[in-house]
Amino acid sequence: MIAVLAVAGTACNSGRHSSSAFHLPPDGDAERGKAAFLAMGCHSCHTVSGVDLPQPTVQPPVPVILGGRVSERLSDAYLVTSIVYPSYALAPYPKDQITSGGRSRMTHDLDHMTVRQLADIVAFLQSRYSVPRLETLR
């Protein structure tokens, strides 16, 4: 019984590394992630803050810029969900610019993405976000 309560208590924690969060393999690599981001064609729609990538080519343009300053750390689970099920929580942009038929315009090419690529893309994206108040504590 005590073990169950201990597990339940730790499950209430939130954040990227909490016991209740979705966990990717810890060896995700940002450089491999950038290469996978390019190989999967993500750059044809998205720009990434602070990264020199080919310009997006999709028409009409998608205003969703990845990376940059955020008010709180994004969890790996949030980024994975955004990649594998982009219609789950649409970005806060004008809906007519990011949707088609009420669903995200982002393609779902999951049949060709490996778990390694997913873990690396998440590592790449995580490396491009910053939380200003946490930066001052370092």
The DSSP annotation for 103-115 comes to EES----GGG--H
| Residue 4 covered by a domain | no
| Residue 116 covered by a domain | yes
| Residue 132 covered by a domain | yes
pTM: 0.79
Domain of 104, in residue numbers: 41-138
Q: Where are the alpha helices (DSSP H) in the chain?
A: 2-11, 30-39, 76-84, 95-98, 115-126, 132-135
| Residue 103 covered by a domain | yes
Helix axes 115-126, 30-39, angle to 10 degrees: 110
Distant-in-sequence contacts of 50-54, Cβ < 8 A, 24+ apart: 50/128, 51/128
| Residue 100 covered by a domain | yes
| Residue 20 covered by a domain | no
- Higher-confidence residue: 110 or 103? 103
User: Looking at the 3D structure of the chain, how many domains does it have?
Assistant: 1
Please report which confidence band the pLDDT of residue 135 belongs to, taking 50, 70 and 90 as the band edges.
low
Q: Which range is least confidently modeled, 1-5, 19-23, 109-113? A: 1-5
